[in-house]
Amino acid sequence: MAEKTFEVATFPWLAMGHLIPYLHISNRLAQRGHKIHFFVPTNTITKLEHLNLHPDLITFIPFTVPHVDGLPQGAETTNDIASYALQPRLMTAMDLTQPTIEASLEQLKPDFVFYDLAHWIPTLARRLGIKSVRYSIVSPATAAYLFSPARKFHEKVTPDDFTKPPPYFPASSIKLSPHEARAIVNALVEKEFGSGMPFAQRILSSYSECDAISFNACKEIAGHYSDYIEKHFGKPVILAGPVVPDPPPASTLEERWAKWLNSFEAKEVIFCSFGSECVLGNEELLLGLELTGMPFLAALKPPLGLEKIEDSLPGGLSERTKGRGVVYGGWVQQQLIMGHTSVGCYVTHCRSGSLLEAMVNECELVLMPMNGEKIVSSRFVSGDLEVGVEAEREEGEEFFSRESVCKAIRLVMVMEVDGEIGKKVRANNAKWRELLLSENRDSSYIDSLIQKLQGLLE
């Protein structure tokens, strides 16, 4: 426990994929005696309570998300809305909480406030004498590639600009196709994303106005990218280390999944999960899993308009894969499933937190990024780190074909398509896993984070 403790308020974007990583870093800080005030929508608290490992030091501060026309009544997070197209309205709703959050911060008087997409936090924090920390759940490589000030967003940016890295970018294999770059520019610059503001402007403001920037990353993997961000934003960058979540105390895998997974040999099961907010786009993914001939567990949300995942399955899939294939539309214990001895491959849409969980477990990575920052993250993982294989997708195609899904999985699991690629991925995965799990690595990064935060108060 640190000799001198401080208090932190957290206000992440209203998505489970942001709230949960913020709770993980909160647990790390609370473990060392620091007090956390965790802002969370009222009805979402119950979804996070089981992950709060230090309820004596981490207090959930409930708030109401204002209703915005076009959102379902009572919508609090991205998990409550039907499509990505509604997220700008939810962002507007989050912005409308500013008076409530400011009043609470004035009463709580924390030393720091951690935030991400609420770009207005630094201004009100300065007014209250609070230090603001932009805690990012995306990798430094992704943030640097997409949002570097060197891209000169205040001028005209074009899709061609995004096919290549920004000026002075570190040596990297990251690049985008013309089709991917057009989609990026459309999402970042040409569309408003809450309160009449383009997404890129919101992100740039959130990075440039804070007192410090922090990433869930370590210098061995992303140090040159964090140095680039520090130089170009002119802000201290503090790496929190690879914050791999600890399972809740005494947590065990649900009996139905444990029993099913126990029926297979070591490393032969494919686990596929696209998170709580990414829906099944078409049938090709499931048909690709079937095509491998291997056992698989796919945890996916049903397509829009359908309540049950079973209603969206390709005809005859259940019968053809009976006994070896399961498609489930509810929440699963992802971390515990990845760690099961029978799981040998993880098929992911490339959220940073899920990638990190996979890298510390002995399952190979197959990457299926659908859009935005997840594509850049995939290129970093498959190209720079070479710890996974990205499924191939034809230029301009929205979805991956069943053949590309099958081929990528076979590359990392049985290595029959190109043995050298599979061997390299497995060797690199083992190398990085050893580094990430090395003794005291997590503690040393958190201790350094705390020391540097305390330095901001002096």
Q: Which residues are catalytic?
A: 18, 116
Question: Could you tell me the two tokens for 34?
Answer: 């620091």
Measured between alpha carbons, how far is 322 from 326 in angstroms, rounded to an integer? 8
The amino acid at 122: P
Residue entry with tokens 């994929």: 17
Tokens found for residue 141: 């490589």
Residue pair 324/292 in contact by the 8 Å Cβ criterion: no
Closest C-alpha among 217, 189, 197 to residue 117: 197
* DSSP symbols for 257-270: HHHHHHTS-TT-EE
User: CA 128 from chain center: how many Å?
Assistant: 30
In angstroms, the CA 364 to CA 362 distance is 7
Q: What's the CA gap between 193 and 91, in Å, rounded? A: 7
Between CA 165 and CA 134 the distance in angstroms is: 23
Both tokens of residue 420? 């050298």
Closest CA to 127 of 141, 115, 117, 113: 113
Rounded to whole angstroms, the Cα distance separating 296 from 18 reads: 27
The rounded distance, in Å, linking the Cα atoms of 121 and 119 is 6
Tokens of 47: 């979804």
Q: Which strands make up the sheet holding 364-367, listed edge to edge?
A: 325-328, 296-299, 269-273, 343-348, 364-367, 388-390
